[in-house]
C-alpha cells in the first residue's frame, strides 16, 4: 500500500515537471519568432497603419478669380504649369511659398518675363538698343534738338545715381503692394493690409488723406510724370515715368532751377522730393512692356501697367489693389464723386481691357495677388 502511494506521487510530480518544461520551450520559441520578425522589419499582415493627410496652412484671405474647371483649349495650353527640375528648388529669395523671378512655374509668364531687363535708368551701362530708343522717342515728341546722353548727364548732376540692389536675394523676401486709384477701393477696408507691405507703390494724383481706412497712409515709391506731378513726402522715392525726352529735362529743372513749365501742357515748375531717392524708369523698359506684356495693344502702356511690371522686377512678391472698374462697372478714381468720369478708358492711348486681362492672368498664374 505504501509502495503504491509513493509510485503515484512520483507519477504526479513527473507529470507536473513535464508540463513546466514544455511551457518554457514553447515560450522561448514564441519570443524567438517575434524577435526574427521585428529584426527583419516585418509587420503583422493584419495590422493597418493609419494614413495621415498632410495639412496645408490656410492662405491669407484674398479675393481670387474664378478658375475655369474645363480642360484648356489649344490657345490656352501655354498657361499649363511646367514641372520644376532639381536645380530649380534652390530658392532665389527667402519667401516661404514663391519668388516671382523663379522660372518654371508658368509657361505663359516665362514667355513674357525677361529677368535681364533693367527697369531703372542708370548713370552708365544702360541696356539701350536703337530700336527701343527710336520707338520711345516717337511716343510724345519733345520738339527740341537735345540728345539723350546730354540730358542724362545734366539730370544726374542734380539727382543721385541709383545704388540699391534690386536683384532677388536668398536672404530676404521683399513684399510689395501696387496701389492703383480705382473706385473699387472705396469702402474696401484694405488700408492696414496695404500699409503692412515692405514697399507701397502709388501713382499720379493718389490721395491718402481722408481715405486711410481703404488705401492706407504709407508710400515708399510714387510713380508720376510731369503732367501728373505732385509733391512727394520726405523719405519717399519719386519714380519718374519719362514718356518723352522733355520729361527728363523737366525732372532736372523741377528739382533745381524751375525753368521748365511747359511740355504739351502747363506743368509744375518745381516739385518737392528727396533728390537722393529719385528713380527714373529706363526708356527701354517701356518698349519691353509694350512688346511682351500689352503686345502692342494701345500706343503705349499706362502708368498702372508699367508700375505693376516694374514691381515684378524689383519685388519677390506683389499684391495689386485698386485696378479695374468698381462693382457697378464704373471706371473712376476712389476720391472722385463723379462715378462716370472714366478718363482712363477715353484717352485712346491705352487699351484698358487688354491691360485688365493681363493683370487677371498674372493673378491666375500665381504671380500676383489681386485684390478686388
Q: What integer best gives the mean pLDDT of the chain?
A: 81
Q: Average pLDDT, stretch 37-58?
A: 35
Q: How does residue 114 score in pLDDT terms, banded at 50, 70 and 90?
A: very high
Q: Is 350 a catalytic residue?
A: yes
Rounded Cα gap, residues 217 and 99, in angstroms: 26
Give pTM, 2 decimals: 0.75
Nearest-10 crossing angle of helices 245-254, 148-155:
20
Interacting residues of 4 by C-beta distance below 8 A, sequence separation 6+: none
pLDDT in tens, 137-179: 999 876 666 789 999 999 999 999 998 888 888 889 999 999 9
Q: How does residue 128 score in pLDDT terms, banded at 50, 70 and 90?
A: very high
pLDDT for the residue 13: 63
- Cβ atoms of 186 and 327 within 8 Å: the answer is no
Q: Residue 196's closest CA among 223, 214, 177, 221?
A: 177
- For 117, the grid coordinates are 531687363
Q: Which residue has the higher pLDDT, 78 or 316?
A: 316
- Cβ atoms of 224 and 206 within 8 Å: the answer is no
Parse the chain into domains and list their residue ranges. Answer: 89-371
Which residue of the set 290, 332, 333, 350 is catalytic? 350
**Between the CA of residue 88 and those of 67, 85, 234, 335, what are the distances in Å?**
26, 6, 40, 44
Q: Is 264 a catalytic residue?
A: no
With 50 as the cut, is the pLDDT of residue 23 above it? yes
Which residue of the set 113, 288, 300, 334 is catalytic? 300
Residue 176 backbone phi and psi in degrees, to 5: -125, 145
Residue 25 backbone phi and psi in degrees, to 5: -65, -45
Rounded Cα gap, residues 150 and 155, in angstroms: 9
Instruction: Fold for 89-371, please state it.
Output: sialyltransferase cstii, chain A (3.90.1480)
With 60 as the cut, is the pLDDT of residue 231 above it? yes
Q: 151: how many CB neighbours lie within 10 A of its CB?
A: 20
pLDDT in tens, 342-354: 555 555 688 989 9
With 50 as the cut, is the pLDDT of residue 51 above it? no
Amino acid at each position: 500500500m505504501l509502495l503504491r502511494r509513493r509510485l503515484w506521487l512520483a507519477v504526479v510530480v513527473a507529470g507536473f515537471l513535464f508540463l513546466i518544461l514544455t511551457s518554457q520551450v514553447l515560450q522561448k520559441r514564441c519570443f524567438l519568432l517575434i524577435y526574427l520578425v521585428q529584426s527583419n522589419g516585418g509587420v503583422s499582415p493584419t495590422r493597418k497603419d493609419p494614413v495621415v493627410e498632410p495639412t496645408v496652412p490656410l492662405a491669407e484671405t484674398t479675393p481670387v478669380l474664378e478658375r475655369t474647371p474645363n480642360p484648356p483649349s489649344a490657345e490656352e495650353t501655354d498657361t499649363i504649369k511646367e514641372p520644376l527640375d532639381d536645380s530649380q528648388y534652390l530658392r532665389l529669395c527667402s519667401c516661404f511659398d514663391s519668388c516671382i523671378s523663379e522660372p518654371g512655374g508658368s509657361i505663359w509668364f516665362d514667355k513674357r518675363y525677361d529677368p535681364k531687363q533693367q527697369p531703372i535708368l542708370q548713370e552708365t551701362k544702360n541696356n539701350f538698343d536703337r530700336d527701343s530708343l527710336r520707338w520711345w522717342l516717337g511716343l510724345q515728341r519733345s520738339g527740341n534738338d537735345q540728345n539723350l546722353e546730354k540730358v542724362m548727364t545734366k539730370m544726374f548732376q542734380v539727382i543721385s545715381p541709383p545704388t540699391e540692389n534690386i536683384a532677388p536675394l536668398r536672404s530676404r523676401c521683399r513684399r510689395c503692394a501696387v496701389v492703383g486709384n480705382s473706385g473699387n477701393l472705396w469702402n474696401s477696408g484694405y488700408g492696414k493690409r496695404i500699409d503692412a507691405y515692405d514697399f507701397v507703390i502709388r501713382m499720379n494724383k493718389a490721395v491718402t488723406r481722408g481715405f486711410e481706412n481703404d488705401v492706407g497712409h504709407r508710400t515708399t515709391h510714387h510713380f508720376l510724370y510731369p503732367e501728373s506731378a505732385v509733391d512727394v513726402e520726405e523719405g519717399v522715392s519719386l519714380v519718374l515715368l519719362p514718356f518723352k525726352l522733355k520729361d527728363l529735362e523737366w525732372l532736372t529743372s523741377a528739382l533745381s532751377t524751375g525753368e521748365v513749365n511747359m511740355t504739351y501742357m502747363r506743368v509744375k515748375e518745381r516739385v518737392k522730393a528727396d533728390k537722393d531717392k529719385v528713380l527714373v524708369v529706363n526708356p527701354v523698359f517701356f518698349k519691353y512692356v509694350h512688346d511682351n506684356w500689352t503686345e502692342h495693344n494701345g500706343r503705349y502702356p499706362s502708368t498702372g501697367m508699367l508700375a505693376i511690371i516694374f514691381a515684378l522686377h524689383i519685388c519677390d512678391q506683389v499684391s495689386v489693389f485698386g485696378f479695374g472698374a468698381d462693382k457697378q462697372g464704373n471706371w473712376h478714381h476712389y476720391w472722385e464723386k463723379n462715378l462716370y468720369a472714366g478718363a482712363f478708358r477715353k484717352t485712346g492711348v491705352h487699351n484698358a481691357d487688354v491691360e485688365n486681362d493681363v493683370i487677371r492672368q498674372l493673378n491666375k498664374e500665381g504671380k500676383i495677388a489681386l485684390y478686388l
